Structure 1
């Protein structure tokens, strides 16, 4: 009798193991894909320089941002064609566009919000927001729960004189300098001097701030007029921020990751 019970127990155990082995594993939710209206900017205009900051630690969070899988600019096809049009006009002036950020997935914006709520993380304050307390970033409009970048027709960019020399990489832990300081003192950038660095959380970054004069103001106007002629509208609080209008997706915020696979 004992042997029969043992055999029955062994058979039950083997049956359970067999079920576990052959049962399909629970699959993770597939990553969302980009609609066909999105393209890689490089496929439309390979001459535009790309320096995608949020895949690197050289940004206001101090770490690579969620959703950036490859250092590439993805935008709607309409915006890409308009960027190409603008680029042709800049090339005739001995300049080239350089994009810092293009489409930004919602998961990246959520990353920004989590970072802003952690008041203990001040590792990049000395460069990106030296005159703003971190608990003011939401109230002052520097961080928001939604971004026009997630709709796909907004870009952050500047202009660079040709030949475009590379910008040296950021070394984590290196001494930080205020983003609004003299160009020679700020983190090096191969662009024209716009008076502040990219993503400078400061009123000096307002496109028409009256304190920005001389060549710095002239450089901002070069960018502004060239982008407006191609159909873009500037965000007055950020000299680098432009949205192509009419937007292809004026009311939709996407969350697909930034990679070639999202476009296939």
Structure 2
């Protein structure tokens, strides 16, 4: 068995596998219908290049406290003329294991140009991809802001790098981004921090509720 196969097997035993979604988790596509949902790991439009294991529906699931906090962020954003666009929320441990398998398959570089143009794939594990993710606790969200254009369409703000780009350019305070791009990142940061979330400094899109409702639990029920 390949090394990544053993790792995936080990992870499956460490997660809370085969258990249903806890009662205190909320489907945000119903609780926050005004947001825009682009759940990337349900599709092949992501760094893996295919739908990710355990994403069975394009839904955003969050623990109730995080859900209520994000609803407040959404209301504050709307007062400023913006909406939230959400890429990922709760992430099953099975999906994290899929990421690890992909990262350790160094021959598959089909998404390199778009997602990690300046790094060898061998350097992604640790800095960007890990054996466990805070997303699996249910109180972390990847998102951006959108604003309505003259044509009535909601467009993403220019953040200086795309979602899930593995590069120091995605660091929230990277000095290479333009004044406008930095202002957009800081606008999102201010809204999220006012709602009780904290930014992961290496990814401008990544925020987690403080304190975490589940500090030591990594769930593994599917997104469905």
TM-score, normalised to structure 1's length? 0.76
Match for residue 61 of structure 1? 48
Displacement of 1:230 = 0.4
1:58 is displaced (CA, Å) by 0.8
Whole-Å separation in 2 of the counterparts to 1:229 and 1:213: 24
The residue aligned with 1:253 is: 218
1 or 2, which has the higher strand percentage?
A: 2
- The aligned counterpart of 2:206 is 241
CA drift at 1:31: 3.9
SS at match of 1:54: helix
Q: Which of 168, 187, 211 is the matching residue for 1:203?
A: 168
Cα pair 1:44 1:81 within 8 Å, conserved: no
Of 165, 171, 189, which residue of structure 1 is paired with 2:153? 165
Q: CA deviation at 1:105?
A: 0.1
Structure 1 gap ranges (5+): 1-29, 167-189, 260-264
The one of 138, 142, 145 aligned to 1:156: 142
RMSD: 1.3
Take 1:31 and 1:143, find their aligned partners in 2: how far apart are those partners? 24
Q: Which protein has the larger Cα radius of gyration, Structure 1 or Structure 2? A: 1
The normalised TM-score by structure 2 is 0.89
Q: When the two structures are aligned, how many residues end up with a matched partner?
A: 206
Match of 2:81 in 1: 94
Q: What is the DSSP-based 3-state SS (H/G/I as helix, E as strand, rest coil) of the residue aligned with 1:104? A: coil
CA deviation digits over 1:216-263, x for unaligned, max 9? Answer: 00000110000000000000000000001111111100000001xxxx
Q: Deviations over 1:62-111 (max 9, x none)?
A: 01000000001000011111111000111011100011000000000000
Match of 1:46 in 2: 33
Structure 2 unaligned runs (5+)? 1-16
